[in-house]
Amino acid sequence: MMNHPAELALHQYMQDAVAGKTTMSDTTVKQVASDVADALQRQFGGGNKRGDFRLRMSNIGRPSCQLWFEKNKPEEALPKPTTFIMNMMLGDIVEAVFKGLLTEAGVDYEDTNTNVNLQLDNDDTINGTYDISINGAVDDIKSASNWSYTNKFESYDTLKAGDGFGYVGQLAGYAKAANQKAGGWWVVNKANGDFKYVPATGLDIDEEISHIQKNVQKVNENKFERCFEPQRETFNGVETGNLVLNDNCKFCSYRYSCWEGMQDKPAILSKAKTPKTVSYIKIAKEYTNESRV
């Protein structure tokens, strides 16, 4: 099922490309190459201070507890893997090439390199640059793992339900600042090249901006407060008495500092040969002598 008129044009162009029937203008090739060159300089060039904290469009939708750690205790973040920058580059390359495909497929879009400013009621201003705009609606281009493409970006509802990276707030902030509608997300599967459009159906911009303002206020107050409580573990539909890490916290780089004493262990009651690993916040007394504990 296609959710955006431009999807048909893109698929037709890609089908023609497979058949060897397409061309790509020198202008488009040079633009894609220029965007990739800029990304290389940005990711690998000197002076990229990744640890400097400031509120920006890409983080204002994240949980305020995570923002507190980024502001006050950045040194407690889990170390980034050596593949981190390469993964960032893959996202930059996907975005650059995808924009080129939109151009060659004849999709009329606005490619902006101009900062927009989101003015909040508390006199804070958040700056950022959105990816593209089509027919007066702001869209974001994302590259995703196969799991994320299939599960997280299944729909707006599934994205919002587990939006630890703040993608919904980011899109709402861009739309509000640009005085445009919130369109959605163009998502490319890094594993196989699949792509789709996930419309932000149901996104209430005013509601999201209100959430952003509360987030910013908490950051300014600089008082730590957890946003999520532990979840009760269940086995075969029955509660075990154990408490495990909330699903919204699984990708947070500060989860071990936030929950001191958390233990990553094979699922205690699992009978599988290779049990899944579970992050336990609290283990009930009756399981403390289990061989897996």
Kindly indicate the confidence band of residue 290, based on its pLDDT and cuts at 50, 70 and 90: low
pTM: 0.90
Query: d(Cα 27, Cα 25) in Å, to the nearest integer?
Result: 5
Query: Does pLDDT of 259 surpass 80?
Result: yes
> What are the tens digits of pLDDT across the range 128-152?
999 999 999 999 999 999 999 999 9
Segment 64-97, tens digit of pLDDT: 999 999 999 999 999 999 999 999 999 999 999 9
Least confident stretch, 20-24, 113-117, 206-210, 227-231:
113-117
The answer to whether 137 and 181 are in contact (CB under 8 A) is yes
Q: Which residue has the tokens 């507890």?
A: 65
- Residue 291 pLDDT greater than 60, yes or no: no
Q: Residue 92 is which amino acid?
A: D
pLDDT at 170: 96
Does the pLDDT value for residue 263 go beyond 90? yes
Model pLDDT for residues 199-253, shown as the tens digit of each residue: 999 999 999 999 999 999 999 999 999 999 999 999 999 999 999 999 999 999 9
**Cα gap 114→102, rounded to integer Å:** 20
pLDDT at 264: 97
- 292: pLDDT strictly greater than 60: no
Give the model's pLDDT for residue 15. 97
Which tokens belong to 62?
Answer: 């994240």
pLDDT tens digits for range 165-201: 999 999 999 999 999 999 999 999 999 999 999 999 9
Q: Degrees (nearest 5) of the Cα angle 8, 3, 56? A: 110
- 138: Cβ–Cβ under 8 A, 6 or more apart, which residues? 130, 131, 132, 171, 174, 175, 178, 180, 181, 182, 183
- Which distant-in-sequence residues (6+ apart) come within 8 Å of 217 by Cβ? 122
